[in-house]
């Protein structure tokens, strides 16, 4: 009974000391609630080389890996494996990316160029790439999050030789394994009602292949 009383008393005292005082360690004039003049060692099962102290919303602190962007590169289609994108049904570009479970900000920069020469001044192409779960089924991936765009689009406007798609979408791989996403392409074609100048046949050349230095597909993990 006496022992219990002492323990209770000590608890009260400890709480009082810790809750209502500033503490200085090797510091007689603490100017913060805890002022350490010297070294600090925090042993915890989260410790590790290069880790930093991270706080949550209520101020609880533990060790964690410092934040740094991971960058996962996709695979562009090698020259020779590509398919041109033409008007009509979407086409698998042969570019793809494999992503671990979790959320991803996927980005694509894709050069647009017409195989049959520069478009005439009365021709434009609005090209789109998007992600599918399949190399053979053009359906949009089921993993787009609701708030995300689906299509990444850009224009090739005659008589310019080149156009560019520069887009981003957000997907979440909710499975427990890495998953491959396939980049599909499609286009819309615009012209006016004149036959002059003569229009070019339209077939986008080397979409998402390694033939163009501008092309890249990659993803950055998000929460």
Partner 1 sequence: MKKITTIFLVAICGQFAIAQIGIGTVTPTADLHIVSKKEYIFTLKDNNASSDSFVLTSKDNTDGFIKKESTSIFKNLKFGNLNTGAELENKIIPATEPYTQNYTSGWKIVRDGAYIRLPQGRWAVYFTTLITLDRFINTEVIRNTAITVDLKMTDRAYADSPDVEGDTQGSTNGNAFVSGSIIFPSQKDIVKGVIIINNTKPGEGVVYRFMSRITVTTDSADAFNSLKDRTVTSILNGNFSQNQIYAVPLN
80 binds partner 1 (CB under 8 A): no
115 binds partner 1 (CB under 8 A): no
Q: What does residue 12 show for φ and ψ, rounded to 5 degrees?
A: -60, -45
- Least Å distance, CB 115 to partner 1, is 19
Residue among 82 and 119 whose Cβ is closer to partner 1: 119
How open is the CA angle 5-6-8, to the nearest 5 degrees? 65
Q: What would the two tokens of residue 58 be?
A: 């209520």
Given a contact cutoff of 8 angstroms between Cβ atoms, the answer to whether 207 and 160 are in contact is: no
- Other Cβ atoms within 10 Å of 118 Cβ, number: 15
- Least Å distance, CB 179 to partner 1, is 20
Residue among 41 and 80 whose Cβ is closer to partner 1: 41
Site for partner 1 (CB under 8 A): which residue of 62, 75, 179, 200? 62
Q: What would the two tokens of residue 51 be?
A: 């880790």
112 binds partner 1 (CB under 8 A): no
90 binds partner 1 (CB under 8 A): no
223 binds partner 1 (CB under 8 A): yes
110 binds partner 1 (CB under 8 A): no
12 binds partner 1 (CB under 8 A): no
Site for partner 1 (CB under 8 A): which residue of 1, 50, 66, 89? 66
Peptide bond into 197 cis (omega under 30): yes
Contact track, partner 1, 187-216, x by CB under 8 A: -x-xxxxx----------------------
CA distance 32 to 13: 21
- Other Cβ atoms within 10 Å of 139 Cβ, number: 11
73 binds partner 1 (CB under 8 A): no
Q: What would the two tokens of residue 188 be?
A: 């819309």
Site for partner 1 (CB under 8 A): which residue of 1, 49, 50, 67? 67
| Contacting partner 1 within 117-176 (CB under 8 A) | 121-124, 126, 128, 130, 145, 147-155, 157, 166-170
How open is the CA angle 79-84-90, to the nearest 5 degrees? 125
Beta bridge partners of 166: 109
């Amino acid at each position: 009974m006496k022992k219990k009383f002492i323990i209770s008393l000590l608890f009260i005292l400890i709480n009082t000391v810790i809750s209502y005082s500033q503490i200085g360690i090797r510091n007689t004039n603490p100017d913060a609630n805890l002022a350490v003049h010297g070294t600090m060692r925090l042993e915890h099962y989260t410790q590790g080389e290069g880790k930093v102290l991270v706080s949550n919303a209520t101020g609880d602190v533990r060790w964690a890996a410092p934040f740094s962007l991971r960058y996962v590169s996709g695979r562009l289609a090698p020259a020779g494996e590509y398919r041109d994108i033409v008007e009509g049904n979407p086409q698998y570009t042969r570019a793809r990316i494999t992503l671990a479970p979790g959320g991803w900000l996927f980005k694509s920069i894709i050069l647009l160029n017409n195989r049959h020469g520069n478009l005439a001044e009365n021709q434009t192409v609005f090209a789109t790439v998007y992600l599918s779960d399949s190399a053979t089924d053009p359906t949009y991936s089921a993993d787009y999050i609701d708030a995300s765009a689906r299509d990444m689009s850009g224009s090739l406007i005659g008589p310019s030789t080149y156009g560019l798609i520069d887009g981003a979408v957000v997907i979440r791989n909710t499975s427990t394994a890495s998953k491959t996403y396939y980049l599909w392409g499609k286009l819309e074609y615009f012209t006016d009602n004149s036959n002059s100048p003569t229009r070019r046949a339209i077939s986008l050349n080397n979409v998402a292949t390694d033939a163009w230095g501008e092309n890249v597909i990659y993803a950055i993990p998000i929460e």
